[in-house]
Amino acid sequence: MHALVEATKRALRLRDDYITDPKCLEHPPDRYLDDGYLGAQAAQIDRRRAASWHAPGDGGDTVWMGAADAKGLVVSYIQSLYGNMFGRGCCRALAC
Protein backbone atom coordinates (compact mmCIF):
# COMPACT_ATOMS: atom_id res chain seq x y z
CA MET A 1 0.00 0.00 0.00
CA HIS A 2 2.86 2.36 0.87
CA ALA A 3 4.51 1.87 -2.53
CA LEU A 4 1.20 2.51 -4.31
CA VAL A 5 0.59 5.77 -2.42
CA GLU A 6 4.15 6.97 -2.95
CA ALA A 7 4.06 6.11 -6.67
CA THR A 8 0.80 8.04 -6.94
CA LYS A 9 2.36 11.09 -5.26
CA ARG A 10 5.27 10.99 -7.72
CA ALA A 11 2.90 10.63 -10.68
CA LEU A 12 0.79 13.58 -9.53
CA ARG A 13 3.88 15.76 -9.09
CA LEU A 14 5.05 14.87 -12.60
CA ARG A 15 1.57 15.56 -13.95
CA ASP A 16 1.51 18.97 -12.28
CA ASP A 17 4.96 19.91 -13.52
CA TYR A 18 4.87 18.62 -17.09
CA ILE A 19 1.38 18.01 -18.50
CA THR A 20 0.62 20.75 -20.99
CA ASP A 21 -0.13 21.35 -24.63
CA PRO A 22 2.04 18.78 -26.46
CA LYS A 23 3.59 21.62 -28.52
CA CYS A 24 4.97 23.06 -25.28
CA LEU A 25 6.43 19.90 -23.72
CA GLU A 26 10.11 20.03 -22.89
CA HIS A 27 10.49 16.35 -23.87
CA PRO A 28 8.51 13.95 -26.09
CA PRO A 29 5.53 12.53 -24.14
CA ASP A 30 6.82 8.97 -24.53
CA ARG A 31 9.70 9.88 -22.22
CA TYR A 32 7.36 9.81 -19.21
CA LEU A 33 6.26 6.24 -20.01
CA ASP A 34 9.71 4.88 -20.83
CA ASP A 35 10.69 1.86 -18.70
CA GLY A 36 13.99 3.49 -17.74
CA TYR A 37 12.35 6.74 -16.70
CA LEU A 38 9.65 4.95 -14.70
CA GLY A 39 12.27 2.73 -13.09
CA ALA A 40 14.29 5.75 -12.03
CA GLN A 41 11.16 7.30 -10.53
CA ALA A 42 10.34 4.09 -8.65
CA ALA A 43 13.91 3.83 -7.34
CA GLN A 44 13.50 7.21 -5.64
CA ILE A 45 10.67 5.94 -3.42
CA ASP A 46 11.77 5.48 0.19
CA ARG A 47 10.27 2.18 1.34
CA ARG A 48 10.44 3.19 5.01
CA ARG A 49 9.25 6.78 4.95
CA ALA A 50 6.43 8.69 3.30
CA ALA A 51 7.37 11.62 1.10
CA SER A 52 5.81 14.93 1.99
CA TRP A 53 2.76 15.98 0.07
CA HIS A 54 2.25 19.59 -0.76
CA ALA A 55 -0.45 20.90 -3.01
CA PRO A 56 0.51 23.56 -5.53
CA GLY A 57 0.56 27.00 -3.93
CA ASP A 58 -0.56 29.03 -6.90
CA GLY A 59 -4.27 28.33 -6.45
CA GLY A 60 -6.86 27.37 -8.99
CA ASP A 61 -9.07 29.16 -11.41
CA THR A 62 -12.50 28.65 -12.94
CA VAL A 63 -14.02 30.11 -16.08
CA TRP A 64 -17.72 29.94 -16.94
CA MET A 65 -19.29 30.95 -20.23
CA GLY A 66 -22.90 30.78 -21.32
CA ALA A 67 -24.79 31.72 -24.46
CA ALA A 68 -28.37 31.59 -25.70
CA ASP A 69 -29.79 32.20 -29.14
CA ALA A 70 -33.16 33.63 -30.22
CA LYS A 71 -34.65 30.12 -30.53
CA GLY A 72 -33.86 29.29 -26.91
CA LEU A 73 -30.84 27.07 -27.50
CA VAL A 74 -28.66 27.49 -24.42
CA VAL A 75 -25.08 26.38 -23.92
CA SER A 76 -23.21 26.43 -20.61
CA TYR A 77 -19.48 25.70 -20.34
CA ILE A 78 -17.25 25.53 -17.28
CA GLN A 79 -13.51 24.90 -17.15
CA SER A 80 -12.15 24.52 -13.65
CA LEU A 81 -8.60 24.09 -12.38
CA TYR A 82 -9.70 24.14 -8.76
CA GLY A 83 -7.87 21.34 -7.00
CA ASN A 84 -4.61 19.76 -8.05
CA MET A 85 -4.12 22.07 -11.01
CA PHE A 86 -4.21 19.37 -13.67
CA GLY A 87 -2.26 20.54 -16.69
CA ARG A 88 -0.63 23.54 -15.12
CA GLY A 89 2.58 22.77 -17.01
CA CYS A 90 1.10 25.04 -19.67
CA CYS A 91 1.39 27.97 -17.25
CA ARG A 92 5.18 27.62 -17.39
CA ALA A 93 5.23 27.45 -21.18
CA LEU A 94 2.96 30.29 -22.25
CA ALA A 95 5.52 31.50 -24.75
CA CYS A 96 5.65 28.21 -26.66
Catalytic residues: 62
Q: What is the CA radius of gyration of the chain?
A: 18
Instruction: Give how far Cα 74 sits from Cα of 36, 80, 84, Å.
Output: 49, 20, 30
Are 47 and 4 in contact by the 8 Å Cβ rule? The answer is no
DSSP structure string for 4-34: HHHHHHHHHHHHHHH-S-GGG-SS-GGGGG-
Are 9 and 51 in contact by the 8 Å Cβ rule? The answer is yes
